[in-house]
Amino acid sequence: MSYKLNISTRKEALIKLMDEIIKHENEIIQALYEDFKKPPFESIVTETSYIISELKETIKNIEKWAKIKKVLPSLLNFPSTDYIVKEPYGKVLIIAPWNYPFQLAISPLTAAVAAGNQVVLKPSELTPKTSAIILQIIEKVFPHQHVKVVEGGVEAAQKLLAQRWDYIFFTGSAAVGKIVAKAAAEHLTPVTLELGGKNPCIIDETANLKLAAKRIVWGKFLNAGQTCIAPDYILIQEEMKSHFITFIKNEITNAYGENPKNSPDFARIVNEKNWHRLASMIAPEKVITGGTTDVEDCYISPTLIDENDLDSELMKEEIFGPILPIITYKDEKEIDKIISKYEKPLALYVFTDDKKFAKKIIQEHSFGGGCINDTIIHFANKRLPFGGVGHSGIGAYHGKLSFDTFSHHKGIVKKANWLDLNLRYAPYTNKINSIRRLLNWL
C-alpha cells in the first residue's frame, strides 16, 4: 500500500520538509505577524524553532522508533520470540487550530509522516496567511500528494470528517472535539483530541510571590493569552492577594511597558468575533489593571480582574485571552471546591514552597499536565506526554510518543517448532492442577 513508505523515504521527506521550513522561516514569521501580530520572538520560540528542533529529533531517531521491539516472552508460550511491530495506521486526518497555527499543524504532521502514514492536513481558516504558507511548503515537499493540505473552514472540515479515516488527530475546542469524536465513531476511527479547559493557577502563603508573578505574566500573556495551557484563573490564599497584585502589576509593566499596545512583544486577538467575546466579559468595576480595548486593532490589554463570583461570564468557560481573574481561597477545602466545579483542565499550576502541599495538589486533582512553581514549560520537554484528560482531551503526544501515537502497535509471538508441550491441548483430563501450578508460579 502506498502509505507504507520505507523508513529512508520517510526520512528524506522529513529532511526536505525541514529544509523548506528553514528556507521560508522569515515568511512564516511574517505570516504569523500578519495573522494576529504575533511577536517574531514568540513565533521563533513557539513555532519555527520548536518545529525545526522536533524535526531534527525525529530525523535522528526515526530508525530507532520504527524498529521492531523485542519483548520478554511469556513462559506460557515457551519456546517463543515475542516482539512489537509498529505499523502506520494508513490515512490520517489532522485538523489544526489557529492559536499556534504553524506548530500545531506541522508537529502532528511530522510524526504522522515519520510513522509512515498518508496525511491530509486542514489548517485553521482563522489564520489564512499561515495556512497559505503551510500549503505552499507541503505542496513543494510532497508533490505526489502523499501529504495534502485542504484549506477552508467549518464546511471543509465537515466534508473531511464525513470521509473514512484510519486515524484522526484534532486540536481545538472541546465543543468541536465532540463533533470530531462523533464522526470518528461512525467508522470506529481512533482519535487523539487535544482540547482546552479552565487551567487553575494556585498560589499558597509560602510561594515566592515576585517570581510567581513574573512567571505567570509570561505564561498568561504569551500569545495574548490565546494558549491552551495558559493559566486561566489565579486561586490565591486570601492574605497574599494584595501583595501579589502589586508584584503582578509591576511584572506586566516590566514586560510590556506603560502602554502594552505599543509593545512589539504583545500579540492581538485573532479576530473581531473573539475580541467581542473577550471584551464583553470584562466587568469595568472589577478591573484591577488593564481593561483597555480597541476593536479596530483587535487589542485587549493585559487585564487583571478582581473576581469573587464563580458564576460570572469570565468563570463559565475557558477564557483564551489576556484576561486574568484573581480569586481568593481561605483553606484547602475551598481550593478543592473551586477546582472541582469545572471539567478536568488541560493544565494546572501550583506556586508554593511547601512540598507536601504541592504533592497533594498534584495527586488529588486530575488534569492534563502542569508545573510546580512555573507555567507552560512542561510543554517544552519532549520526554513528557502532552495531552488532556476528560474534557481536556484524549491521548497525548510529543517526542517518541508522537511517533507511537500515529503507529498501530502489533504484538507478535513467533512460536518455535522444536518443542510442543501438550499441556494446553484437549483432552484436558488431569491437566488442571499442572496448569494451575504453572499459572501461580508465573
Taking contact as CB under 6 A, which single stretch among the options 24-32, 167-175, 291-299, 413-421 is the one that binds ligand NAD? Answer: 167-175
Residue 75 Cα distances to 71, 72, 81, 82, angstroms = 12, 9, 11, 11
Q: Which of 393, 343, 383, 397 is nearest to 365 (CA)?
A: 343
What CA dihedral angle connects 164, 165, 171 and 173, to 10 degrees?
Answer: 20
Is 371 one of the annotated active-site residues of the chain? no
Q: Which of 22, 68, 71, 154 binds ligand NAD (CB under 6 A)?
A: 154
Q: For residues 339 and 366, what is the distance between their CA atoms, to the nearest angstrom? A: 10
By the rule CB under 6 A, 87 interacts with ligand NAD = no
Q: Which helix (H) or strand (E) holds 328?
A: strand 323-329
Instruction: Tell me the per-residue interface mask from 291 to 330 with ligand NAD, x by CB under 6 A, - otherwise.
Output: ---------------------------x-x----------
Full DSSP string of 216-235: HHHHHHGGGG--TTS--EEE
Is 194 one of the annotated active-site residues of the chain? yes
Q: For residues 385 and 174, what is the distance between their CA atoms, to the nearest angstrom? A: 19
By the rule CB under 6 A, 191 interacts with ligand NAD = no
By the rule CB under 6 A, 376 interacts with ligand NAD = no
By the rule CB under 6 A, 181 interacts with ligand NAD = no
At its nearest, how many Å lie between ligand NAD and the CB of residue 80?
40
Q: For residues 377 and 386, what is the distance between their CA atoms, to the nearest angstrom? A: 11
- CB-nearer residue toward ligand NAD: 35 or 318: 318
- CB-nearer residue toward ligand NAD: 62 or 94: 94
By the rule CB under 6 A, 46 interacts with ligand NAD = no
Q: Which of 228, 298, 343, 371 is catalytic?
A: 228
**Contact assessment for residue 90 and residue 425, using Cβ atoms and an 8 Å cutoff:** no
- CB-nearer residue toward ligand NAD: 176 or 201: 176
- CB-nearer residue toward ligand NAD: 172 or 370: 172
Q: Which of 88, 97, 325, 345 binds ligand NAD (CB under 6 A)?
A: 97
Q: Which of 91, 319, 107 is nearest to 194 (CA)?
A: 107
Residue 89 Cα distances to 37, 108, 410, angstroms = 37, 14, 11
By the rule CB under 6 A, 96 interacts with ligand NAD = yes
Helix 7-23 to helix 103-114 angle, to the nearest 10 degrees?
Answer: 160
By the rule CB under 6 A, 347 interacts with ligand NAD = no
- CB-nearer residue toward ligand NAD: 150 or 372: 150
Q: For residues 136 and 129, what is the distance between their CA atoms, to the nearest angstrom? A: 11
Q: For residues 321 and 36, what is the distance between their CA atoms, to the nearest angstrom? A: 13
Number of residues engaging ligand NAD in binding (CB under 6 A): 28
Helix 25-36 to helix 7-23 angle, to the nearest 10 degrees?
Answer: 60
Contacting ligand NAD within 213-242 (CB under 6 A): 228
By the rule CB under 6 A, 189 interacts with ligand NAD = no
By the rule CB under 6 A, 122 interacts with ligand NAD = yes
By the rule CB under 6 A, 380 interacts with ligand NAD = no
Q: For residues 165 and 91, what is the distance between their CA atoms, to the nearest angstrom? A: 6
By the rule CB under 6 A, 131 interacts with ligand NAD = no
Question: Hey, what's the cell of 248?
Answer: 503582578
Q: Which of 121, 346, 347, 350 binds ligand NAD (CB under 6 A)?
A: 346
Instruction: Tell me the per-residue interface mask from 385 to 404 with ligand NAD, x by CB under 6 A, - otherwise.
Output: ---x----x-----------
DSSP state of 345: P
By the rule CB under 6 A, 125 interacts with ligand NAD = yes
At its nearest, how many Å lie between ligand NAD and the CB of residue 32?
14
By the rule CB under 6 A, 99 interacts with ligand NAD = yes
Cβ-based neighbour number of residue 82 at 10 Å: 16
Question: Hey, what's the cell of 64?
Answer: 530507532
At its nearest, how many Å lie between ligand NAD and the CB of residue 234?
18
- Sign of the CA dihedral running 111, 114, 119, 121: positive
By the rule CB under 6 A, 168 interacts with ligand NAD = no
Q: Which of 194, 251, 307, 343 is catalytic?
A: 194
By the rule CB under 6 A, 153 interacts with ligand NAD = yes
By the rule CB under 6 A, 32 interacts with ligand NAD = no
Taking contact as CB under 6 A, which single stretch among the options 28-36, 172-180, 233-241, 286-294 is the one that binds ligand NAD? Answer: 172-180
Q: For residues 304 and 315, what is the distance between their CA atoms, to the nearest angstrom? A: 13
Cell numbers 473514512 correspond to what residue?
A: 164
Q: Which of 167, 119, 165, 169 is nearest to 144 (CA)?
A: 119
By the rule CB under 6 A, 176 interacts with ligand NAD = yes
Question: Hey, what's the cell of 221?
Answer: 500573556
- CB-nearer residue toward ligand NAD: 13 or 104: 104
DSSP reduced 3-state for 137? helix
Which residues would be at the binding site for ligand NAD (CB under 6 A)? 95-99, 104, 122, 124-125, 153-154, 157-158, 161, 171-173, 176, 179, 194-196, 228, 318, 320, 346, 388, 393
Which residues are catalytically annotated? 194, 228
